[in-house]
Amino acid sequence: MSADATVIELDVRTIDGEPFPEIASALEALDREETLRLVGAFEPVPLYDVLEARGFTYETERVDTDTWHVTIRRE
């Protein structure tokens, strides 16, 4: 990620109900020079296939016992 890239953070822990629609909207709106950081309570393994199929790369980091960051970029 370049030093001047814009990071957009989406904390899915605050979403009441299924978070995928909000994640999908954030992905659609993501520009090439932007990075999306998802913050969640667990590793979102099912999301990885979706990201790859839609042309995104990602890095996952376990920040705490119940906090995960997934950093997503367009290829």
The string of pLDDT tens digits covering residues 11-53 is 999 999 999 999 999 999 999 999 999 999 999 999 999 999 9
Total tally of structural domains belonging to the chain: 1
* Main-chain phi, psi angles of 50, to 5 degrees: -65, -45
Predicted TM-score (pTM) of the model is 0.90
Asked if pLDDT for residue 63 goes beyond 80, the answer is: yes
Which residues constitute the domain of residue 28? 6-74
Q: Identify the bridge partners of residue 21 per DSSP, sorted by sequence position.
A: none
Residue 69 counted as domain residue: yes
Look at residue 38 in the predicted model and tell me its pLDDT: 98
Cα 60 to the center of its chain, rounded Å: 9
Asked if pLDDT for residue 1 goes beyond 80, the answer is: no
Residue 65 counted as domain residue: yes
